[in-house]
Chains A and B, each alone.
Chain A
Amino acid sequence: MPIQLYPIAIDALSSNQEEPLKVNNRKLTIEFEPTFDNVDIMRSAITGICQYSFPTPGAEALTMDFSLAVTEAMTNAVEHSGTNRVTIELTVAATAIIFQMTTNGIKFDPTIPVSFPDLSSSDDLPEGGFGLALIRELVDRVAYEYRNGKNIFTLEKTLICSEKETGDGKSYRNTR
């Protein structure tokens, strides 16, 4: 079965790789059918956007953290929500990258207590339940809203900027 992606909009994408920080916001919206293969494609796209947007020292770790967090969110939606469409809106701003996922499946409970079990003292090792805990560990802000029958899940990774460390007047960003 062919993979179907539905690109909706690309707003204000910068074509200037030399000065990406001067672009206020860049926004990409994509809608896709809920399959794990499509999650892989979206992860590749988001990873590429992160690499494009943050060509600075520390960007690799940021990209991996963010890619993993959004993978967990999308996989969870595909596996558990029962939605028939997943809509992703990715916003790249000067100080943060924001992932917003909208699904129309069952209501998600973001207040579920999550933690990583102490495996060293456990004989009955868990085979699941790490996803939401990983998301909370890897991004700086997690928000959830249920509106008009839709789950809206937002993940934000903040970038800490510092120009002092370079000493050359260039605007390198240090990332968390």
Chain B
Amino acid sequence: MENHIEIQDDIVIINLSGNLVRSTGEDLKNEVSGLIDKGFRYLLVDLSNVHLIDSYGITVCIAFYKMVENIGGRLLFVNPRPAVEKVFHITRADQKLQVVNSRQEGITAIHEKIRTTVEIK
């Protein structure tokens, strides 16, 4: 699995490609954990090029969700392929993990979250 990271404003966009499975998930989990430790709270995980996700990949995604929720941030998954979306659905992970159709949709949603958070403060 390869991943490419972009940062737009305060949003980290993680582009994944390949398979999110047991052999690849641990490194990704550590990488995202490191980003959160550096203070990033808003994450877009682009799944467009992920061909297969297994149960370990799902637990990695749930771990991302918990990390981001704990710091009041927001995590969105972008454009999963049907095979990946199916696993999100079967495992009921889609009850917690929010999926958007495009990066732009995700960026807009996160900007809204940031704006709301600032207004409340």
Contacts and interface: CB of A to CB of B under 8 A. Distances in A.
Interface string A65-79: 001100110010011
A5 to B, nearest CB: 15
Interface stretch (A11-19, A105-113, A115-123): A115-123
B83 interface: yes
A149 interface: no
B56 A75 contact: yes
A39 B62 contact: no
Contacts of A40: 19, 21, 23
A50 to B, nearest CB: 13
A120 B91 CA distance: 12
Interface string A124-145: 0111101101100110000000
B22 interface: yes
B109 interface: no
Interface in A19-44: 36-37, 39-40, 43
Nearest to A71: B54
A79 B54 CA distance: 14
Interface residues of A, number: 29
B75 to A, nearest CB: 13
Interface of A: 36-37, 39-40, 43, 61, 64, 67-68, 71-72, 75, 78-79, 116-120, 125-128, 130-131, 133-134, 137-138
26 contacts: A36-B21, A64-B86, A68-B87, A71-B52, A75-B21, A75-B22, A75-B55, A79-B22, A118-B92, A119-B62, A119-B92, A119-B93, A119-B96, A120-B92, A120-B95, A125-B96, A126-B59, A126-B62, A127-B63, A127-B66, A128-B55, A128-B59, A131-B54, A131-B56, A134-B54, A134-B55
Interface of B: 19, 21-23, 52, 54-56, 58-59, 62-63, 65-66, 82-83, 86-87, 90-93, 95-96
